[in-house]
């Protein structure tokens, strides 16, 4: 039987250069979609999948993330005094259970694979989820919950994938698969950022996975790949053939909040989707489009 997925790694040590100057002093993962930061969406996605322990791999200037998940004593006391119960609840909801989060540092942004490797001591030898918080997923069950279910069925590594236009393969890890059944396929390869003409398919890894701890044994070698970075996808490729590896077609919406337009789209889409903001957003958009 597959071991239960209890822990998640959230790599947040990147420089966020595509969002400068917003990310000069503030972490990209604290950018807000409607009223909560991207990192909170990722944490909530995990909690909905039964994952309650978190390893945040942070870097310089990322202190705001740690503070966001801490309790804010003075603020909470003031909200209580002013009887702002809804706001108080929202603030408290962002607090993680005591002792359930670890913040470790990737001193240099050497690549996503290196960031995940930095979490090795806190994960130990059990399966774990990895989420890139700048990808926002909206679905029920959550993308991570879908992966956990797939892991329970297969007992191995599972990555979430989606079809992308062929001209965009150079921005993704692209998978090769066989024997797809009900959206789950055996993975036979994964290539980081291939040129469109060299891509084995148009199925892109979208920043969500459940991985076995063997991935650390490969990351340990610190081999660099595309862009001179230590790539997580290269370590994944090395596991194929040694432990079960599947690609799961994600069923839901995905917004690439690492880009300005993707981030804007996420804000509009979430605002249109939420009951408390939908009507006003629609009116606002109509007005802006007419103007
Ligand atoms: P990205 O490449 O999208 O993020 O990495 P980035 O490097 O911060 O952004 P740009 O490209 O310069 O605009 C995806 C995720 O992996 C993390 C990032 O924080 C982001 O959540 N990451 C990336 C690390 O933690 N360490 C790294 O060395 C690289």
Average pLDDT, integer, range 222-250 = 94
pLDDT at 116 exceeding the cut of 80: yes
pLDDT band at 226 (very low <50, low <70, confident <90, very high): confident
Average pLDDT, integer, range 278-287 = 97
pLDDT at 1 exceeding the cut of 90: no
> Would 36 be classed as within a structural domain?
yes
> Would 2 be classed as within a structural domain?
no
Q: Can you give the C-alpha Rg of the chain in angstroms?
A: 19
29-38, 60-69, 237-246: least confidently modelled range: 60-69
Nearest-CA residue for atom 9 of ligand 1: 16
Average pLDDT, integer, range 231-239 = 95
pLDDT at 159 exceeding the cut of 80: yes
Index of the ligand 1 atom closest to the CA of residue 108:
28
Q: What is the pLDDT of residue 93?
A: 86
Chain mean position to CA 38: 9
Q: What's the pLDDT tens digit per position in 174-216?
A: 999 999 999 999 999 999 999 999 999 999 999 999 999 999 9
Q: What is the CATH number of the domain that holds 85?
A: 3.90.550.10
Q: What is the pLDDT of residue 160?
A: 98
Percent over 70 (pLDDT), the chain: 100
**Is there a cis peptide before residue 178, judged by omega within 30 degrees of 0?**
no
The structural domain count of the chain equals 2
Do 172 and 268 have their domain in common?
no
Index of the ligand 1 atom closest to the CA of residue 15:
8
User: Reduced to 3 states, what is the DSSP secondary structure of residue 41?
Assistant: helix
Do 138 and 268 have their domain in common?
no
Do 170 and 208 have their domain in common?
yes
- What is the domain range of residue 266? 259-291
Do 159 and 276 have their domain in common?
no
Whole-angstrom distance between the N-terminal and C-terminal Cα of the chain?
A: 59
Average pLDDT in the chain? 95
Q: How far away, in angstroms, is 140 Cα from ligand 1 center?
A: 26
Average pLDDT, integer, range 253-276 = 96
Nearest-CA residue for atom 14 of ligand 1: 132
Percent over 90 (pLDDT), the chain: 87
Chain mean position to CA 102: 17
Index of the ligand 1 atom closest to the CA of residue 110:
28
pLDDT band at 223 (very low <50, low <70, confident <90, very high): confident
pLDDT at 59 exceeding the cut of 80: yes
pLDDT at 32 exceeding the cut of 90: yes
pLDDT at 291 exceeding the cut of 80: no
pLDDT band at 286 (very low <50, low <70, confident <90, very high): very high
Do 155 and 218 have their domain in common?
yes
Maximum distance among all Cα pairs of the chain, rounded to whole angstroms: 62
Average pLDDT, integer, range 67-75 = 91
pLDDT band at 57 (very low <50, low <70, confident <90, very high): very high
Q: Angle, nearest 10°, between helix axes 38-47 and 143-154?
A: 40
Cα 3 from Cα 133, distance rounded (Å): 24
Do 212 and 272 have their domain in common?
no
Q: What is the pLDDT of residue 92?
A: 87
Residue to substitute in 14, 39, 110, 219 for testing ligand 1 pocket (most ligand atoms within 8 angstroms of CB) = 14
Q: What is the pLDDT of residue 3?
A: 86
Average pLDDT, integer, range 103-110 = 94
Residue to substitute in 112, 117, 130, 171 for testing ligand 1 pocket (most ligand atoms within 8 angstroms of CB) = 112
User: 36-37 and 32-33: which strand pairing?
Assistant: antiparallel
> Would 1 be classed as within a structural domain?
no
């Amino acid at each position: 039987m597959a071991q239960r997925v209890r822990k998640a790694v959230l790599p947040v040590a990147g420089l966020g250069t595509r969002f400068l100057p917003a990310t000069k002093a503030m972490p990209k993962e604290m950018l807000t979609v409607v009223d909560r930061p991207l990192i909170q969406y990722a944490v909530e996605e995990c909690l909905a999948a039964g994952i309650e322990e978190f390893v945040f791999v942070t870097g310089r200037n990322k202190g705001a993330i740690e503070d966001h998940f801490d309790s804010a004593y003075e603020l909470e006391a003031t909200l209580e005094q002013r009887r702002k119960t809804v706001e108080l609840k929202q603030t408290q909801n962002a607090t993680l259970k005591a002792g359930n989060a670890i913040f470790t540092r990737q001193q240099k942004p050497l690549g996503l694979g290196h960031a995940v490797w930095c979490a090795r001591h806190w994960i130990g030898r059990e399966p774990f989820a990895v989420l890139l918080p700048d990808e926002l997923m909206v679905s029920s069950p959550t993308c991570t919950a879908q992966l956990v279910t797939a892991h329970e069925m297969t007992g191995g590594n599972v990555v979430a994938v989606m079809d992308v236009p062929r001209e965009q393969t150079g921005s993704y890890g692209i998978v090769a698969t066989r024997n797809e059944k009900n959206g789950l396929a055996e993975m036979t390869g994964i290539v980081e950022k291939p040129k469109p003409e060299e891509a084995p398919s148009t199925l892109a890894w979208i920043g969500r996975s459940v991985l076995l701890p063997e991935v650390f044994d490969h990351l340990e070698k610190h081999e660099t790949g595309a862009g001179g970075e230590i790539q997580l996808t290269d370590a994944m490729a090395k596991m194929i053939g040694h432990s079960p590896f599947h690609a799961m077609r994600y069923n839901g919406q995905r917004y690439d909040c690492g880009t300005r337009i993707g981030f804007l789209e996420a804000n509009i889409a979430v605002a249109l989707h939420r009951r408390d903001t939908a009507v006003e957003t629609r009116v606002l958009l109509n007005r802006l489009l007419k103007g």
